[in-house]
Chain A
Amino acid sequence: MCRASFDTVNGPLLNTLFESLITGTPAGYTLWTGRGSPVWSRRRLGFDVQWLQGSEASLLRNGDYRTMKALLFSWLRSGFLLCFLSFACNPPIFSQTNDIQQWIAILREVGPGAQGNVEASRAWQLLANSGAEALPTILAGLNDCSPLAANWLGTVVDAIAEKEVTRTGTLPVRSLEQFVLNTRHDSRARRRAFEWLTQVDQEAADRIIPQMLNDPGVEFRRDAVGRLLTEAEVLFRDDARRNESTALYRKALGGARHDDQIKTIAERLRELGQEVDLPRHFGFLMTWKLIAPFDNSNGKGFFVAYPPEKQIQPNASYEGKTGTIQWVDHNTDDDYGMVDLNQLFGKLKGVVGYASTEFTSEVQQEVQLRLGCKNAWKLWLNGKLLFERAEYHQGTRIDQYSLPALMLPGRNTVLVKLCQNEMDATWTAQWQFQLRVCDASGTAILSTTRAHLQAAVRSSQPADSVATGSK
């Protein structure tokens, strides 16, 4: 029966059969059926010549029509067999409604080290053949997924939307807009939906962005702040209405999470005679106890666990690189919370310093500790090493490193180890860091004893009143 079908089948039908039934993979020949195109190929012959093995590839290249027919026939026959087996063994794959969820689940399971890549690649191509109506479902797949999975899902959204826009010039704008406005969804997914929405609906941004000033998604906030800044700038440049800009700048500051915008706003507000507490806005830790110098000759001190790493004892003295050393209180006044050890200990080289502070939290909460530092460093929270990095003098910026951490209820101890190397170039002089506590969107999380700590150091109270407890 198969032979008769093959011999009588016409070209297009044969192609259609192959397109829907047979594909080859690098690991051999695998049958996949599904709605529309096959997994691995959408070429007219339904297979990729480069995946053919040895003599088969050679035969095809030589254009031996008879042999090619025989080969196709044998594939067709084995294809039907495999098709049957596939149905028998894995029937859910053919249920389209469930398929999308299954394919999304496969993409969500990818992990580091190429884990799940092969399966994900197949699922991605199946998903990519979904209609645009599947976009909200796929976008929702980004909720709570890993960064790698987000990229699998985000790119399949691009592929579907791109195809649909090319084909029809539009997208399901209502469902996309609903998705964008639903803040329970992942911020990246909402943003991707927004960007596709604005490609087909020119007015969408004007409709959506003004209400995004306090959105969980920082990119939405950025756009909303940008609009406010444009409005405020017009007022600021008008002498008669300059004071009216204050309220707009204040409003913009409330939503701003990106440093470049915050800096602009702070400058304007100060020009308007307003006070701006930038450290509080960012959540920088300003009050520290510092001890230095320990030895870091030849960079070896980075690997030495000096006493503060074992136990923080605020009143203890240690033998340092230059003699007996003790903890000293320090409260930085820098807008960006920079703690400058050179300022306290002199411009030393080949040294290690430690900085310790406490952070009081009312509840257990997930936070990010965000560090900026151009020296080698280690960072502990409650005695647990969060991260370490032996890189010296290659630049720094706010939020250079973001470290997820868990703040416990009550007092939490933060310890920073800061290593200075022995390079003597002027650009290697800095021995400093900045550290803030915030949530994933960059919104400051403040210690409940922040004001007390700062006041305590400013009034030079005894050291033990601001001491961090050792844990």
Chain B
Amino acid sequence: MRIQVRMALFFLCFACLPGSDWNRFRGPDGMGVAADEEVLLEWNEETNIAWKAELPGQGISGPIVIGDQVVVTSCSGYQQGRLHVICFNARTGKKRWERQFWATGRTMTHPRTTTAAATPSSDGRRIFAHFSTNDMVCLDLEGNLLWLRGFLLEYPNASGSLGLASSPIVVGQTLVTQIETDSQSVGLGLDVNTGQTRWAVDRPQKNNWTSPVVLRGGAEHPDLVVMQSADGLKAYQAMTGDEVWNFSEACKNIPSSAVSGNMIYVPCKGLTALRYEPGSDFPELLWQEERLGPSTPTPLSYADKVYSLNGSILNCADANTGHLDWRVRLKGNFTSSPVVAGGHLYCFNEEGVGQVIELGEKGRLVATNTLGEGIMCSPAIANGALYVRSFSHLWKIAQE
């Protein structure tokens, strides 16, 4: 009897285990890939929508998924001064909790963006949300406030009238955020437990909306966090902020770099591929290809290929050589970065049209799906569902 109970508990534990979390901008390690997930190819406003939840105000930040919770940020009010973090039950779409903050910093942004532009991140226990007003808040999964910072109170010119959009990332016990504007810039590593500054590094005084990425050091070397800017690509030790290397060629300031294993694909001279061996002093330059340069969306690497969106053109190239394999013209303009699941690439244009491309020798557009609302966020994939945020709704695309 006791053995039976233990066996039952054992299997119950496995049954309750959640699938992979989509815990930050572009998912685990910022790769934009959920290779083992199978996501629907077709949907519209009424079909294959498991649920749709109304959001307060507006926003272009992407959702994240932690276990059975979906978290998204939003902003509302006159001049976007109210900042929201909202948590939904991933299964039902029912709101679990919502926390609202008053902006402590400037709220002005370009009309195409909002004060809720950065995608939050999570370490599985906590949620970190950064707003264009330079407010950073940390909540636990139950919505309890653990800490907050108002960076403009410490860096009074670290705001841009076009708005900020860099998404923070968690590396070990450090939350890394990049705040870069024409008037004041800083890169920060914060203690995830308390919000206290572990380190602060000077960053180029130039507008920059890219998000940091992490290079894993493995068992023997520290993880590195890599920050991109118009002055180049710099790698810092995530725990200390010590600079490790500097690739000093000008990079773009909107699309972020993409990491896949020990490869980094950088929006620089079109697209630049670097290979980094943990512990080495400098990454190796593998190739540069002007034709692969992305516009706003971040590139993506999957199964030895690299993909970039420039305008409405989707490029596919050999990840090791940069050789252009194929191109497909999609419909519309893209701010949202593409994601991969089940051998398909999902691209949402600004009109909210989700285009699904079957990946292979040639890219083949297999489905064009509409939601009837504009989309500028990057989607999340978890537990066989695609989560996407339009201007005023959060959608779960999955079988009902």
A148, A219, A400: the one contacting B78 at CB < 8 Å is A219
Given the known interface contacts A120-B147, A121-B145, A390-B183, the answer about A155 and B99 at a Cβ–Cβ threshold of 8 Å is yes
Segment of B37-45, B57-65, B154-162 engaged in the interface with chain A: B154-162
Asked if B324 CB lies within 8 Å of chain A CBs, one says no
Residue contact A124 to B144, C-beta cutoff 8 Å: yes
Distance between A163 CB and nearest chain B CB, rounded to angstroms: 9
- In Å, the complex CA distance between A17 and B180 comes to 50
The CA-CA distance from A451 to B114 in the complex, in Å, is 40
- B221: interface (CB < 8 Å): no
Q: Which of B78, B144, B197 makes the CB contact (< 8 A) with A159?
A: B144
Contacts of A110 in B (CB 8 A): 148
A222's nearest neighbour on chain B, judged by CB, is B78
Q: Which residue of B lies closest to A402 (CB)?
A: B106
Rounded to whole angstroms, the CA-CA distance of A305 and B162 in the bound complex is 28
Main secondary structure of the interface of A (DSSP, over half): helix
Closest 3 CB pairs of A and B: A117-B147, A394-B161, A112-B153
* Contact B144 A389, beta carbon cutoff 8 Å: no
A328 to B147, CA, bound (A): 52
Q: Which of B79, B104, B160, B195 contacts A117 (CB 8 A)?
A: B195
Name the one of A155, A188, A374, A391 contacting B145, with C-beta atoms under 8 angstroms: A155
Query: What is the minimal beta-carbon distance from A120 to any residue of chain B, in angstroms?
Result: 7
Cα–Cα distance between A394 and B253 once the two chains are bound (Å): 15
CB proximity of A43 to chain B, nearest CB, Å = 10
Q: Which of A26, A151, A154, A387 has the most CB of B within 10 A?
A: A151
B362 within 8 Å of A by Cβ?
no
Residues of B within 8 Å of A374, CB to CB, are 161
Q: List chain B positions with a Cβ less than 8 A from chain A.
A: 77-79, 97-102, 104, 106, 108, 110, 125, 135, 137, 143-150, 153-154, 156-157, 160-162, 181-183, 190, 193-197, 207
Contact B160 A394 (CB under 8 A): yes
Q: Which residues of A contact B181 (CB under 8 A)?
A: 391
A451 to B207, CA, bound (A): 42
Task: Report the minimal beta-carbon distance from A46 to chain B, rounded to whole angstroms.
Answer: 16
Q: Given the known A-B contacts A113-B197, A117-B196, A148-B148, are A395 and B157 also in contact in the complex, defined by CB atoms under 8 Å?
A: no
Pair B194/A114 contact, Cβ less than 8 Å:
yes
> What is the number of residues of chain A that contact chain B, defined by CB distance less than 8 Å?
44
A154 partner, pick from B77, B101, B182, beta carbons under 8 A: B101
CB atoms of A151 and B183 under 8 A apart? no
A162 on interface, CB distance cutoff 8 Å: yes
Alpha-carbon separation in the docked complex, A42 to B156 (Å): 39
Residues 202 to 227 of chain A near chain B (Cβ within 8 Å): 218-219, 222
Output the nearest chain A residue to B153 by Cβ-Cβ distance. A112
A450 to chain B, nearest CB (A): 27
The distance in angstroms between the C-alpha atoms of A396 and B156, with both chains bound, is 18
Q: Mark each residue of chain A from 172 to 190: 1 if its CB lies under 8 Å from any CB of chain B, else 0.
A: 0000000000000000100
> Does A242 belong to the interface (CB within 8 Å)?
no
Interface residues of A in 244-274 (CB under 8 A from B): 258, 260
A151 touches B101 (CB 8 A): yes
Of A125, A156, A159, A394, the most chain B CB neighbours within 10 A belong to A394
Task: Give me 14 other A-B pairs in contact (C-beta within 8 A), A112-B153, A154-B101, A400-B161 excluded.
Answer: A113-B149, A117-B146, A117-B148, A117-B194, A124-B145, A148-B153, A159-B143, A159-B145, A219-B77, A258-B78, A390-B183, A391-B182, A394-B162, A397-B108
A114 lies within 8 A of B197 (CB): yes
Contacts of B97 in A (CB 8 A): 159, 162
**A155 in contact with B100 given A128-B144, A400-B108 (CB within 8 Å):** yes
A-B contact pairs, 14 of them (CB 8 A): A114-B195, A114-B197, A120-B147, A121-B145, A125-B144, A152-B148, A154-B100, A155-B101, A222-B78, A374-B161, A390-B182, A391-B160, A395-B162, A400-B161
Nearest CB of chain A from residue B315's CB, rounded to whole Å: 29
Q: Does A392 contact B (CB under 8 A)?
A: yes
Docked complex Cα distance between A374 and B137 (Å): 30
Q: Quick one: which of A34-92 are within 8 Å of B by CB? A: 50
A158 within 8 A of B: yes
Residue of B with least CB distance to A50: B125
Residues of chain B contacted by A222 (CB below 8 angstroms)? 78
Chain A residues positioned under 8 Å from B135 (CB to CB): 151
Inter-chain contacts of A117 with B (CB < 8 A): 146-148, 194-196
Q: Is A150 an interface residue (CB 8 A)?
A: yes
Choice from A26, A158, A192, A395 contacting B193 with Cβ under 8 Å: A26
- Note all chain A residues with C-beta closer than 8 A to B77: 219
- Complex CA distance for A26 and B157, rounded to whole angstroms: 34
Residues of B within 8 A of A390 (CB): 157, 182-183
| Among A113, A188, A219, A400: residue with most chain B CB under 10 A | A113
What distance in Å separates the Cβ of B8 from its nearest Cβ neighbour in chain A?
Answer: 14
A151:B104 contact, CB within 8 angstroms = yes
Q: Which residues of B contact A147 (CB under 8 A)?
A: 102, 104, 150, 153
- A318 adjacent to chain B (CB < 8 Å): no
Q: Is the CB of B102 within 8 A of A154?
A: yes
Contact of B102 with A158 in the complex, beta carbons under 8 Å = no
CB distance from B283 to the nearest CB of A (A): 33
* CB-CB nearest in chain A for B139: A155
Contacts A118-B194, A390-B183 given: A112-B99 contact, CB under 8 Å?
no
| B194 x A401 contact (CB < 8 A) | no
Residues in B with CB closer than 8 Å to A125 are 144
Closest to A192 in B: B100
- Neighbouring A residues of B99 by C-beta, 8 Å: 155, 158-159
Determine if A389 and B183 form an interchain contact, defined as CB atoms under 8 angstroms apart. Answer: yes
Q: Map CB proximity to B onto A111-137 as digits: 1 under 8 Å, 0 otherwise.
A: 011100110110011001000000000
Q: Do A392 and B182 touch (CB < 8 A)?
A: yes
Contacts A112-B154, A117-B194, A387-B156; A156 near B145 (Cβ below 8 A): yes
Residue of A at shortest CB range from B110? A395
Q: With the chains together, A396 CA to B157 CA distance in Å? A: 16
Instruction: Say whether A158 contacts B98, CB under 8 Å.
Output: yes
Contacts of A392 in B (CB 8 A): 182
Q: Which of A151, A218, A391 contacts B148 (CB 8 A)?
A: A151
Q: How far, in Å, is A399 (CB) from chain B's closest CB? A: 8
